[in-house]
Amino acid sequence: MNIAVLGAQWGDEGKGKIVDLLTPHFAVVGRYQGGHNAGHTVYVRGQKFVLHLIPSGILHAGVTCLIGNGVVVDPTALFHEVDELKGLGIDVDGRLFVSDRAHIILPYHRELDVLSEARRGERKIGTTSRGIGPAYEDKIGRRGVRLCDLTDAPALAEEIEHNVHARNQIIKDTHLDWRQVYDTLLAQAERLKPWTTDVSLRLHQAMAAGQRVLFEGAQGTMLDHGTYPFVTSSNASIGGVCTGLGVPPQAVGGVLGVAKAYTTRVGEGPLPTELHGEMGTRLRESGNEYGASTGRPRRCGWYDAVAVRYAARLNGLQSIALTKLDVLDGLETIEVAVAYRIGGRVVEEFPAALPPGEACEPVYEQWPGWTTPTKGATRFDALPEAARKYVARLEEVSGVPIALVSTGSDREETIIRDDRPLAAWLK
Ligand code: IMP
């Protein structure tokens, strides 16, 4: 059975660890959207790996990793990541492939990202400044450059000249020479060539040969369907699997959402359960909540069941991997938002336009915390009773079984529950 693993919150749910952990059950891992804005941190025997573009499955020898047409690829970032992995003894040759239809992030995309943020002033999105939005804008605007376009030098020259001319009109105080962009791209094309392939075809062939595929999401559902315009520019939710890898919906057998036992977000935009005081700091420090890509401190808050229920509905989540339960160890009381109060009304469904700040007040339930640590637990029945009750309540209010509980950053610090869907999918 093929499964999709995607974020049920605002990104940074811990997908990297979950994908890495599940990869031994699969022959192929395919990433379907986003770019090097993502930061997937994986710890293997205490060694830390941060992956941005390359699927987290790469840490397992023999697994094929595919970057789909829905991903935007910055060649410099990709080379850097490949070289870093090589330095750590992980060879990607012959098992990392990038779609010939994937769009390329060009230097002016990064500049336009920064400019657009500056122009928005206080209304800025808080992007990762990696050029993600402008690269997707060019894709939608039908002026993007794909990996396959690198083989047609005259057409490429024309496109780049046209795009850089437009850039020079927008950013008036500096001048970019299109030839420089073009020459760099041609040089990069040489290194990209052996990795460039028809990813959709490769996936179809793999599936026809009975190989199992894991579809890996980046960012999270709320950065796609959630708090517009404070979102990313790609489809992190389930539909992105089909459009971003070129596979039919029947290819997806199971959908596993990843959710943290509390909530975090980087960047601007509404976050109803955000904690500004001591408790927010406590979660940030215990959970080491700093962006894996940008190092920015993450905003922290209680578990938001309204958001996770919404993600469950949009993605058809059949199962949840709950991460970082151990970060809550030692808290006296833990809160869970089950609804919002907006304009005097109790709202249970995630609204299209979420009012900022205090205009959206979470309706909280209080749950007793636990003193016996959950850190490192590998069996559900070994968890303190209050932690088991907390997980059971999250299942009820989110409407999805919690099949996996992560109790630490290492692979071994994980509980997989036999009586929930995931265990059967892996057989
Ligand atoms: P962009 O994707 O760089 O355009 O940023 C848009 C929004 O998505 C910002 O709020 C970013 O902080 C957020 N974002 C992008 N990638 C990630 C991620 O991997 N984890 C969490 N937030 C992200």
pLDDT digits (tens, 9 = 90+) for 146-194: 999 999 999 999 999 999 999 999 988 889 999 999 999 999 999 999 9
Contacts of 395 (CB under 8 A, 6+ apart): 320, 401, 402
Ligand 1 pocket, 217 CB below 6 A? no
Ligand 1 pocket, 38 CB below 6 A? yes
162 is catalytic: no
Ligand 1 pocket, 305 CB below 6 A? no
Ligand 1 pocket, 37 CB below 6 A? yes
Burial of residue 291, with CB atoms counted within 10 A of its CB: 0-12 exposed, 13-18 middle, 19 or more buried: middle
Q: What is the pLDDT of residues 309-318, one digit of tens each?
A: 999 999 999 9
Mutate to test the pocket of ligand 1, among 115, 124, 222, 223 (most ligand atoms within 8 A of CB): 223
As a whole number of angstroms, the distance between CA 254 and CA 404 comes to: 14
**Cβ–Cβ under 8 Å, residues 102 and 69:** yes
Identify the pLDDT of residue 357.
82
- Give the DSSP H/E element, type plus range, for residue 249: none
Q: Which two tokens stand for residue 105?
A: 């992030």
Ligand 1 centroid – CA 135 distance (Å): 14
pTM greater than 0.85:
yes
Query: What mean pLDDT comes out for the span 57-86?
Result: 95
Ligand 1 centroid – CA 217 distance (Å): 13
Ligand 1 pocket, 105 CB below 6 A? no
Supply angle C-alpha 356, 361, 363, rounded to 5: 145
Nearest to 121 by CA among 268, 300, 296: 268
pLDDT exceeds 80 at position 44 = no
Identify the pLDDT of residue 211.
97
40 is catalytic: yes
pLDDT band at residue 339 under the 50/70/90 scheme: very high
pLDDT exceeds 80 at position 24 = yes
Alpha helices, DSSP H, located in 171-318: 178-192, 199-208, 239-245, 278-286, 305-315
As a whole number of angstroms, the distance between CA 161 and CA 143 comes to: 11
Identify the pLDDT of residue 2.
97
Identify the pLDDT of residue 376.
97
pLDDT exceeds 90 at position 41 = no
Identify the residue whose C-alpha is closest to ligand 1 atom 15: 37
pLDDT exceeds 90 at position 42 = no
As a whole number of angstroms, the distance between CA 179 and CA 173 comes to: 19
Residue entry with tokens 């290492």: 410
Identify the residue whose C-alpha is closest to ligand 1 atom 21: 11
